[in-house]
Structure 1
Amino acid sequence: MTKRDRPVLLYDGDCGFCTASVRFVERRVPTSAEPVPYQVADLDALGTSVERASREVVWVARDGRLYGGAQAAAMLLVDAGGPWRPLGLLIRVPPLRWAAHGVYRLVAGNRGRLPGATPACALPAEQRPGPGPASR
């Protein structure tokens, strides 16, 4: 696994809801992570795939470990420290871990209907505007 200076938060840059969520994090949550749309990231170097990054947000830890979905959000909160850290730690422990996973899946599955969404949010990754999966 490759060591890195900062964790990376991969998100769907074609999705307005996802982008708005990341902008909120940038303004309000003091994380050391570098948010990067998966569409412009070197996914091979980060150890993940288009299939995974198009399905869920991915946290790439400094040591190269990957966390997806609700666990990526938990890692972001732990990294932020302060009042965010206890919430992130709670989300990592069953049964809250299971509940967080269910909520994440519910939100991810309906992101096209949420505030800030764009029509691209509702499309499968291979049908979204911009470069195709082969070039990502």
Structure 2
Amino acid sequence: MFPVRIESYAINPDSGGTGRYRGGCGAIRVWRLLDGADATGALCMERMKSPPFGLLGGKAGAAAAVKLTKQDGTVRHLPGKGAFSAPAGSVIEMITPGSGGFGPPAERDRAAIGRDLVDGYVSTASAERDYGVADPQALREASED
């Protein structure tokens, strides 16, 4: 076994581009290298500099990112392609891109926004800001029934 602990693997809320049809959310993965686990790795990721675009009024999804934090707190943002080394105790955080939305966000079905709120794909702030929802909490509660 390789001494690595998976600290989290979760959906990245608000990473899918807004639109009539919301883009899919990316993921956040966090790994910690345990004692004696110096490691080398290689990345081959896309959409770090140019996020996935939206279509026909849909907005872009969030870009990808990879961050290496050493035990001393030093943070290094890794490029999308190439090799890297990480000493034991380091934390690697990989954020995959969200996909772009399709169509104008104002045309998104309110019930779909409510489900997105319940499922954690969209935050209350995004529902207000990006979709113009006046009362996200009421929409969330209606979708929980």
Instruction: Give the TM-score band, short-chain normalised.
Output: under 0.3
Structure of greater Rg = 2
Looking at secondary structure, tell me which structure has more helix per residue: 1
